[in-house]
Chains A and B, each alone.
Chain A
Amino acid sequence: MSEETLNITLKVWRQDGPEDRGRFETYQAENISTHASFLEMLDVVNENLNEDGKEPIAFESDCREGICGTCNLMIDGKAHGPEKGTATCQLHMRKYSDGDTIVIEPFRAASFPIIKDLAVNRAALDAIVMSGGFISVNTGAAPDANLTPVPKEAADQAFDAAACIGCGACVAACPNSAAQLFTSAKVQHMNLLPQGQAERWQRTEAMIETMEMFFGSCTNHGECHDACPKEIPLDLIAWTNRDYIKSKNKNRKLAGQRG
């Protein structure tokens, strides 16, 4: 718990609005405690900017515990920065050294239009969930929870997929700006559970095709998994691709078009 401070040079993307061209601006972050989180460092910079009569940098965060998925910074070219399995808000300044220069940009993807500075619009992710990321059970219609045993293994794997926080780092890291890891996580969370079987094939087809409407296509680079703050397993994409191919057949059969 030794108390040390750092002086850091920041190159921060500033953009006044969606139509503005944007530019990098350089700021000094001085006397930053090593115990501070990365976003607390930005809080200090903003407080100083405000004092100097300059508008603070717009960036988004909420829980600051790595679970809500609101924070989204590209730090030195990496989504959520250098620490593996860590959202921006959980990155701490003790990972940096005095005198470092840090480049901060928004998550960049055509499907994530910039709102202002480092804030982007990720509503396209909600559209994917809306297309099928649910199990259709109206309130009150559920049977007793222990009626259907779920093998522990399946429940655990479903949880691993369900741990996605929807931050969009997978999109920002992907050379194609695909949201395949996000989509696969939601598809497999439900496809792995007995409760999710009835809508399995419709769900898979709808969600993948909605994803393709907004985002690029997956070509198996695996950058998404590297950037993911929750380390969502990459093989979920393979399982989802398999389910997708099957779904094209199954859904026709379900619709009565055999042969």
Chain B
Amino acid sequence: MIGSLDSRLPAGSADNIQDAWTNHKFSMKLVNPANKRKFEVIVVGSGLAGASAAATMGELGYKVKLFTFHDSPRRAHSIAAQGGINAAKNYQNDGDSVHRLFYDTVKGGDFRSREANVHRLAEVSVNIIDQATAQGVPFARDYGGLLDNRSFGGAQVSRTFYARGQTGQQLLLGAYSALMRQVGEGTVEMHTRTEMLDLVVHDGAARGIVVRDLITGDVTSHSGHAVVLATGGYGNVYYLSTNAMMSNVTAAWRAHRRGAMFANPCYTQIHPTCIPSSDEFQSKLTLMSESLRNDGRIWVPEGMDDSRAAADIPEGERDYYLERKYPAFGNLVPRDVASRNAKTVVDQGRGVGTLKNGVFLDFADAIARDGKDLVASKYGNLFDMYERITGEDPYSQPMRIYPAIHYTMGGLWVDYELQSNVPGLFVLGEANFSDHGANRLGASALMQGLADGYFVLPYTIGNYLADQLGDRPMDAGDAAFRQVEAEVNEQTNKWLSTNGTKSVDYYHRELGKIMWDYIGMERSENGLEKAISEIPALKAEFHKNVRILGTGDGLNQSLEKANRVADFFELGELMARDALAREESCGGHFRAEHQDAEGEADRDDENFQHVAAWEWTGTDSVQNRHTEDLEFNYVIPSKRSYK
């Protein structure tokens, strides 16, 4: 094992969490401005975390190289986030504070995150809003010209800032504009359409990466003093998810194979409000912002197999099951609770739509109360999107929604400074595991991505780099790099010469079915055992029988997908093992064997109040499970109740 699982929490954070980050910042080493230009930093990924980190490090004077497989940094999947971003500004005077955001996030994560990390996240949340506003991000405003807020799944205060239903787009365009300014100033060198295919670890530290130019097929090496991965989550392991088509785990997984620990892979989030799938050719699922739950009421018919149109079902024969079971939070219960309840009613045979695979999200009351115009002003673009996809008009009939894989809380293990166990390898945003525990609250992904990129990494990376003053980065022509390049080229040739019969997509779809059935919303020992035996069998067939046409020296989208799907197979198996080892239900991880009499999650703090971090031990051997214990001094673990 490289390095250790020492979280390196600031000294004294158990007694004084309020000042832990401030004190830690003071204790870290600095790199003086004239020396910063001597350090070269590689950033992979151009979403909120990657773009904000690259721009900020560029502003500070570091020499940054940014890599993205997109044609432009602006395409990264952060762009699709709809609902908003949390910040403890308390502009609404409704009792919010840094401590409350911290408290809600730890509780929302079902007590499986580090308190000190989460507190820091809540602290810097306010700076993000200031930064984005100054960049020109057009957040929603009230008539006095000040910023507007709304409340968002799982919160009883209005702390979510938003830009219509396109908050992720506007925040990413803000980070992208800051990034492009640095590209123009020459501090950031941008490599688009360039995919990271391996990490080079030498003498116990990350030294650089090996990439493939997606247009020419050239495989080249790039070295630096540090490597920063901001490469997003792995939801596409399920094939159908709300992730973009190209979102993948490859950069993180290749780093894992080189020694970086992968933490809590079984923590996945199912988003409750997505459009149900309509046929087998469906390529992805579309999310409808959770903000819809502020005004929409969720219900299903009381009886089984009710095929009447929504309008024909009288009020008395409707079951508003969230309002019934959770009177305090009602339709605004956290995502995991809302999702599991939707699954329960659909499994009971009370689903709606032709395929009986959804529940209603009804705006009739909101339209009657506020008028169609006000509803349209809040959700117009979402309603339009729904109608384009389904051909149904949500103003006149309820939407049909169903949960879908949306976000992954697990990821590469990092310490308090966002450094993995491999020295010099830092991991930001959704790609790391750090802040959301077993469940992420709505509007907290954007917050974490930008917190990591703007306000955490730019400080903590200096603490690592300061010790390397005077050292040149390794030569990218060194034998260590040549060796990895050769391995990448060999893999490419293998794909192109396999000459089987089925497409990459076919195998990806089949893997997705196993994942959804056995490692989806509900997991059982039996199902997980099945997944652990079926995934390797399918993987073997994939490697033997996949057909990838064309060549490696130009644009070849099947070849790109093959690499990504190969990694999903390995990850999928690890997810099953992680889910099997975690004999409890917490957050997004629900084990059928561990529920109380009412079907609510049964957490086991005595045995599982820890992070599980997996160590790669070779392609054909089972990975080692290590643990990092979690301590709670401020938010005392209790059963999450939203009743």
Q: Is the CB of A36 within 8 A of B279?
A: yes
CB distance from A122 to the nearest CB of B (A): 6
Q: Is the CB of B74 within 8 A of A135?
A: no
Rounded to whole angstroms, the CA-CA distance of A136 and B502 in the bound complex is 51
Known interface pairs A62-B245, A152-B145. Does A35 touch B75 (Cβ–Cβ under 8 Å)?
no
Q: Is the CB of A136 within 8 A of B71?
A: no
Out of B144, B282, B286, which one reaches A149, CB within 8 Å? B144
**Residue of B whose beta carbon sits closest to that of A48:** B503
Known interface pairs A1-B278, A1-B354, A145-B130. Does A134 touch B135 (Cβ–Cβ under 8 Å)?
yes
For B283, what are the chain A residues with a Cβ–Cβ distance below 8 Å?
A: 37, 39-40, 43, 64
Q: Which of B493-517 contact A (CB under 8 A)?
A: 501-503, 505-506
Out of B130, B278, B505, which one reaches A47, CB within 8 Å? B505
Out of B192, B278, B286, B390, which one reaches A65, CB within 8 Å? B286
Rounded to whole angstroms, the CA-CA distance of A148 and B485 in the bound complex is 52
Q: Which of A133-150 contact B (CB under 8 A)?
A: 133-146, 149-150
Kindly state whether residue B136 has any CB partner on chain A within 8 Å: yes
Q: Is the CB of A130 within 8 A of B183?
A: yes
Q: Is the interface of A mostly helix, strand, loop or mixed?
A: loop
Kindly state whether residue A66 has any CB partner on chain B within 8 Å: yes
Rounded to whole angstroms, the CA-CA distance of A149 and B59 in the bound complex is 27
Binary interface profile of B, 519-555, with partner A (CB < 8 Å = 1, else 0)?
Answer: 0000000000000000000000000000101100011
Q: Is the CB of B133 within 8 A of A63?
A: no
For A122, what are the chain B residues with a Cβ–Cβ distance below 8 Å?
A: 71-72
Out of B127, B180, B392, which one reaches A130, CB within 8 Å? B180
Known interface pairs A54-B549, A90-B385, A116-B554. Does A193 touch B142 (Cβ–Cβ under 8 Å)?
no
Out of B139, B143, B458, which one reaches A139, CB within 8 Å? B458
Known interface pairs A67-B79, A134-B180, A193-B138. Does A166 touch B74 (Cβ–Cβ under 8 Å)?
yes
Q: Is the CB of A135 within 8 A of B177?
A: yes
Rounded to whole angstroms, the CA-CA distance of A122 and B192 in the bound complex is 11
Q: Which of A204-247 contact B (CB under 8 A)?
A: none
Out of A123, A144, A152, which one reaches B130, CB within 8 Å? A144
Rounded to whole angstroms, the CA-CA distance of A4 and B145 in the bound complex is 50
Kindly state whether residue A76 has any CB partner on chain B within 8 Å: no
Kindly state whether residue A50 has any CB partner on chain B within 8 Å: yes
Kindly state whether residue A159 has any CB partner on chain B within 8 Å: yes
Kindly state whether residue B55 has any CB partner on chain A within 8 Å: yes
For A165, what are the chain B residues with a Cβ–Cβ distance below 8 Å?
A: 169
CB distance from A101 to the nearest CB of B (A): 21
Out of B73, B134, B245, which one reaches A195, CB within 8 Å? B134
CB distance from B274 to the nearest CB of A (A): 11
Q: Is the CB of B145 within 8 A of A151?
A: yes
For B642, what are the chain A residues with a Cβ–Cβ distance below 8 Å?
A: none
For B385, what are the chain A residues with a Cβ–Cβ distance below 8 Å?
A: 65-66, 90
Rounded to whole angstroms, the CA-CA distance of A178 and B384 in the bound complex is 29
Kindly state whether residue B388 has any CB partner on chain A within 8 Å: yes
Known interface pairs A35-B279, A51-B503, A90-B385. Does A139 touch B79 (Cβ–Cβ under 8 Å)?
no
CB distance from B120 to the nearest CB of A (A): 15
Binary interface profile of A, 182-219, with partner B (CB < 8 Å = 1, else 0)?
Answer: 00000001100101100000000000000000000000
Q: Is the CB of A150 within 8 A of B184?
A: no
CB distance from B517 to the nearest CB of A (A): 22
For B131, what are the chain A residues with a Cβ–Cβ distance below 8 Å?
A: 137, 139-140, 142
Rounded to whole angstroms, the CA-CA distance of A193 and B127 in the bound complex is 20
Q: Is the CB of A145 within 8 A of B281?
A: no
Kindly state whether residue A110 has any CB partner on chain B within 8 Å: no
Kindly state whether residue B367 has any CB partner on chain A within 8 Å: no
Known interface pairs A37-B283, A135-B135, A163-B166. Does A90 touch B354 (Cβ–Cβ under 8 Å)?
no
For A25, what are the chain B residues with a Cβ–Cβ distance below 8 Å?
A: none
Kindly state whether residue B391 has any CB partner on chain A within 8 Å: yes
Q: Is the CB of A162 within 8 A of B170?
A: yes
Rounded to whole angstroms, the CA-CA distance of A66 and B75 in the bound complex is 11
For B74, what are the chain A residues with a Cβ–Cβ distance below 8 Å?
A: 68-69, 126, 166
For A163, what are the chain B residues with a Cβ–Cβ distance below 8 Å?
A: 166, 169
Rounded to whole angstroms, the CA-CA distance of A124 and B74 in the bound complex is 13
Rounded to whole angstroms, the CA-CA distance of A53 and B500 in the bound complex is 10
Q: Is the CB of B130 within 8 A of A62?
A: no
**Residue of A whose beta carbon sits closest to that of B78:** A68
Q: Is the CB of B279 within 8 A of A47?
A: no
Binary interface profile of A, 6-50, with partner B (CB < 8 Å = 1, else 0)?
Answer: 000000000001000000000000000101110110011011001
CB distance from A100 to the nearest CB of B (A): 18
Kindly state whether residue A74 has any CB partner on chain B within 8 Å: no
For A150, what are the chain B residues with a Cβ–Cβ distance below 8 Å?
A: 141, 145
Kindly state whether residue A254 has any CB partner on chain B within 8 Å: no
**Residue of B whose beta carbon sits closest to that of A195:** B136
Kindly state whether residue A158 has any CB partner on chain B within 8 Å: yes
Kindly state whether residue B150 has any CB partner on chain A within 8 Å: no
Q: Is the CB of A145 within 8 A of B133?
A: yes
Rounded to whole angstroms, the CA-CA distance of A129 and B178 in the bound complex is 10
Q: Is the CB of B177 within 8 A of A129?
A: yes
Rounded to whole angstroms, the CA-CA distance of A70 and B52 in the bound complex is 21
Out of A33, A129, A158, which one reaches B278, CB within 8 Å? A33
Q: Give 3 closest A-B pairs by Cβ, nearest first.
A: A149-B145, A142-B134, A134-B177
A142-B127, A152-B142, A163-B166 are known; give 4 further A-B pairs, CB within 8 A.
A3-B279, A62-B244, A130-B183, A195-B134
24 example contacts (A-B, Cβ-Cβ < 8 A) are as follows: A39-B283, A40-B281, A43-B281, A50-B547, A56-B549, A63-B79, A63-B80, A70-B75, A83-B388, A86-B388, A122-B72, A123-B71, A133-B177, A134-B180, A137-B178, A139-B131, A139-B455, A144-B130, A145-B133, A155-B140, A162-B138, A162-B173, A166-B72, A193-B138
